[in-house]
Amino acid sequence: MPASRTAIICAIVILLSLAALPAWAYDANVGNRAANFKGYDIVNHEAIELDDYLGQWVLVEHWATWCGSCMAELPNLITKTRPYVRDGRLSVITVSSDTAEDLPRLKQAIRQQRLPYPVIYDGGIYDPDEIGRALPAVEWNVRGWPATFLIDPQGVIVANEVRGEDLAEILDFYLSGNAPVVSLCGYARENADRSISIFAEVGNTSREPVRVTAWVYTADWTWDEDCIVINEESGMAENPETVLVSFDDFCESVAEIVLPADEAIDYYSCWLEATVPGTEHIGPADYPGIRFEVRTNDILLVEDFYYDEEIADCRVIPRAE
């Protein structure tokens, strides 16, 4: 498919901007201990930090007034969490990704929504290179808003898809004291036959099987001076193959999903999704359950990739002749 001039897009802006991460950034994945962050709560006018909440269940919401989905979710967050906060089972911290220019709008939103929870705001900037001024969302490698994380009393992230109509039921599931601790991390590699293996390292303290699904974006491109011409892209789509992961006595397992070799593809970006057992009645009909995701390494199959020194988590693989 020939590319139009409007399809010439700078590589860093479109395909690789999310991959350019600071070395000090941390991935807030399920199963990881929640990295501490601190800031100033503009609701209660005091300094606050996450580690002060150890020993409690905590819901952390990254949001911003410029994010339409965040503003739509905020009333739901307040309504659905209120019963758990009132009976002492849950604390809620919200973290604003608004910049200094957005402060008046942020204060107005807090008043209009009657937001009763802390709002951490420091007027920082979303720039991974500005250590010390970067927003907490940068430190947590947040890639989309709203970003919601449920953290258990031991400080471990147990869920990161906690919103919408199912929020109350999800909180009830985890705060009941019977929920398993599930972890997920992933990586990918190119095999000798040019196929792509996506690996999911999964843990589940209940040892019940977990459904793992891979979501994959692919693109074919050519170079035009300093930019990439996207000839064809797939969009993010569910891979047809899903894996039901079983566990041994150590509660851990590794699943492999293989993508067939395709000489026309220059770029792969992969997400893994695991569904927690016992939640099949929760969530959209097509993909029920409490889910969480992890981003694997991007795989680049470009012979000469000029920006590799700016990419922190991409592996540059020369295309074999």
Q: Which are the contacts of 91, defined by CB distance < 8 A and separation ≥ 6?
A: 53, 56, 57, 58, 59, 85
Which H/E stretch holds residue 204?
strand 196-204
Q: What pLDDT sits at residue 42? A: 94
Q: Element (H or E) spanning 174, and its range?
A: helix 167-175
Residue 82, CA distances (Å) to 89, 116, 169, 171 in order = 10, 9, 13, 11
Answer for the pair 29, 157: CB distance below 8 angstroms, yes or no: yes
Q: Report cis status (omega within 30 of 0) of the bond before 146.
A: yes
- Grouping H, G, I as helix, E, B as strand and the rest as coil, residue 51 is helix
Distance CA 126, CA 70 (A): 17
- Global confidence as pTM: 0.67
CATH class as words, domain 32-179? alpha beta
State residue 217's pLDDT score.
87
Closest CA to 150 of 136, 170, 164: 170
Burial of 34: CB neighbours in 10 Å, binned 0-12, 13-18, 19+: buried
pLDDT, position 16: 37
- What pLDDT sits at residue 304? 52
Query: Half-sphere exposure of 55 toward its Cβ, with a 13 Å CA cutoff?
Result: 2
In the predicted model, residues of the chain with pLDDT beneath 50 are 1-24, 305-314, 319-321
- CATH class for domain 181-321? mainly beta
pLDDT score, position 232? 87
**pLDDT score, position 127:** 56
The confidence score (pLDDT) of residue 14 equals: 34
Report domain extents, the chain.
Answer: 32-179, 181-321
